[in-house]
Chains A and B, each alone.
Chain A
Amino acid sequence: MASAADDGTMSALNRLWLVFRGPRFVDLPMRLLALIMGLTVLIPGSFEIAEPRYMVLLVCAYALLILSPFFPLATVFVSTGLSLVFVVPYPDLENMFPESLIFATAVLFSQRRWVGSAIATVGLLAYLITCTELAAYDGGIAGFIDFGYGWVTYSLIGLAAGIVELRIQREIHRRERAAVEHQQAVESLRARFTSDMHDTISNSLATEGAIIKALARGSRDLGTNRQLAELSLVNTEASKRLRQLVTQLSDGDELQPRIRLQAEAKALATSIENGSAAGGVALTLTVGTLPRYASPVLGAHFTAIMRELATNVIRHSLPGTESSLTVNVDREGSDAAVLRFRTENEAATSLTRPPRSLSRRAQALGGSCTTGSNPQGRVVVEVSQPLRFNDSADGDEADAVCVRDDFTAAASSAVLEANAERHASATKSQRV
């Protein structure tokens, strides 16, 4: 409650300040000047006589002076009328209404309101002529000279304020335009740089790919061919990643809440097949019907498992033999499934245990990694990863997500295990 009241009070104060400050830069000094001039009514001796009607009119004149920067044209009309009302009963007393009239004229000049300024000038002339007719204090040549000088001075000050305001506004607009143009130039430069950069990088990757193909064609060394196949895999993965990044740039969103698993799996399979083929390794990838959408985390694990399986096949398969990598999904009800990866290849020796990093990742995800042989004696490595399905926020097809993801923790424990093994072997060699 108190804070709400404070907010309300502050808001009212802010509003009051904004009203007083005015929309223009020159409004505040003019309004402050008018306020100071208006407050001189409080100085002792301001009232020449003690008559109530006179005092009321004088206070009104000073009040009009304070209000003139806020409502200049209204002040012109009111002060012109009241100046004539004042001069009739008090022709020999100082009339403050023309002062507010002149100040309002200056404000109108500062606002470049020429018609209003002309009306105010006519009003002042009307008052001076009336004073002259009535032989009042402000009449005659002296009055014309006195008020004429005041009118010229205040009008020039008002004009100067108007010119200053105009210059300030023009400078603001100029700087805003320059900032917008600069921003556009920077964006254009960035877009051109990005376009040139990805064009250059993609051409370089294409050249690398061509060199790998040429070397693989000319090479008869089995070890070299495997290395070329791995290099080709890296090249195609970099190409695929570049394409993804450029696509994200084109789409304008950097972080997507979901990925298109089926589409990306097919693209990944193609890039792995291309990479392997370029290195002379015949690896056939088959992607079954996968969930259409998945979380980015699942997508990252999927890519890592596929790449690792492919790399293992490239490294350990017998040259000149066919290898395969398949991936599909076994549904287990409406909201659960298991992602199954399977590689088959001929190898010089059978695998006694599954690849360590693959096994660790699979277990961290709540799945398993097993190795064995099929009846033809080919090495088989299978990775399974359980999935579940989360409803998407927009009511679209459900996203597949990992059931568990302790991979970060698993990665840390792998580091500790490796350190422990190194320490144990170091201790052993010291004893020897």
Chain B
Amino acid sequence: MSGSAGSEIDSSPADERIVVLVVDDDSWTTRAVAAALLDDGGFSVLEPQHSGEDAVEAFDRHRPDLVLMDVNMHPGMSGVDAAREIMCLDPEATIVVLTTVSPGPGITRALEAGAIAAVNKSATDAELVRVARAAVAGESPALLRSLAEDIMISGDIAADGSRTVPALTPSEKLLLRQICEGMDYSEIAEQQVVSVYTVKSHARNLRIKLDAKNLAQVVIRAIQHKFYVPE
């Protein structure tokens, strides 16, 4: 089936609502996700796209605030490749991967390509809205709540042979664990009895040490180097 997500699609650049591009080869999924965002009232959803090529073209044309991208879109360009191309067009683009209840191997590759989080396409409307808002607001470990488990289930965690395992201090390992568990910066600050600014600074240092471009990649590295194993 194909079709637009609903009757209220507004791509006006002057609109204060968050502009979202939904990409999935399944039109029911794009309908459901778009409807959830539209019902909230704080989002403006572009015409859903059903292939990687169309997604890149739509992104280049509209430059949305957020892209919700499926991983596997057969045939043609995958979500991983589309994410990579979008990051080339705009390194500051915000991409969140749409996964399923048991994600396949593409999720790790999509995160390595530049996506900052993953959300289950079958999540509740409230959860979809929460993740969309949090992603647009900026990176936060709260976006990564079930990411570690999703990565383990996907089975795609083989480390690049060139990466050496960095040595982490006990406090870095604790921060890494808290990030992987999806604790918010404020929660981490409260537990560690430090300021949020300090936590963010340590998180930045951790990212550099683990050679990660974003917090999602920090989680990947943590699993690859066996610093963290989800229960």
Q: Which A residues form the contact surface with B (CB < 8 A)?
A: 191, 195, 198-199, 201-203, 205-207, 209-211, 213-214, 217, 235-236, 239-240, 242-243, 246-247, 250, 260, 263, 273-274, 277-278
Contact = CB atoms under 8 A, between A and B. Distances in A.
B29 A207 contact: yes
Contacts of B31: 210, 214
- Interface size classification for chain B: 20 to 34
Contacts of A199: 72, 100, 102, 104
B26 A207 contact: yes
Contacts of A209: 32, 122
Contact of B29 (A206, A239, A274): A206
Contacts, number: 79
Contacts of A260: 231
20 contacts: A191-B155, A195-B104, A198-B104, A202-B102, A203-B72, A206-B122, A209-B122, A210-B26, A210-B28, A213-B35, A213-B36, A214-B28, A214-B32, A217-B35, A235-B122, A236-B122, A240-B101, A250-B152, A260-B231, A277-B125
A28 B67 CA distance: 74
B192 to A, nearest CB: 23
Contact of B153 (A210, A247, A273, A277): A247
B123 interface: yes
B112 interface: no
Given A210-B26, A260-B231, A274-B122, A205 B101 contact: yes
- 7 A-B pairs with least C-beta separation: A210-B32, A202-B100, A239-B101, A210-B28, A199-B104, A209-B122, A246-B102
Contact of B28 (A195, A207, A235, A246): A207
B24 to A, nearest CB: 9
Interface of B: 26, 28-29, 31-33, 35-36, 72, 100-105, 120-127, 149, 152-153, 155, 231
Determine which residue in A206, A207, A236, A260 has the highest number of CB atoms from chain B within 10 A of its CB, and name it. A206
B65 to A, nearest CB: 23
A236 B103 CA distance: 15
Nearest to A203: B100
B197 to A, nearest CB: 31
Nearest to B121: A206
A128 B102 CA distance: 83
Contacts of A274: 122-124, 127
A391 to B, nearest CB: 21
B123 A243 contact: no
Contacts of A243: 101-102, 153
A235 B100 CA distance: 13
B100 A205 contact: yes
Contacts of B33: 210
A214 B32 CA distance: 6
Contacts of B155: 191, 195, 250
Among A213, A214, A273, chain B packs the most CB atoms within 10 A around the CB of A213
B207 to A, nearest CB: 26
Contacts of B102: 198-199, 201-202, 242-243, 246
A206 B101 contact: yes
A343 B180 CA distance: 34
Contacts of B105: 195
A236 B122 CA distance: 9
Contact of B152 (A203, A247, A277): A247
Contacts of B126: 277
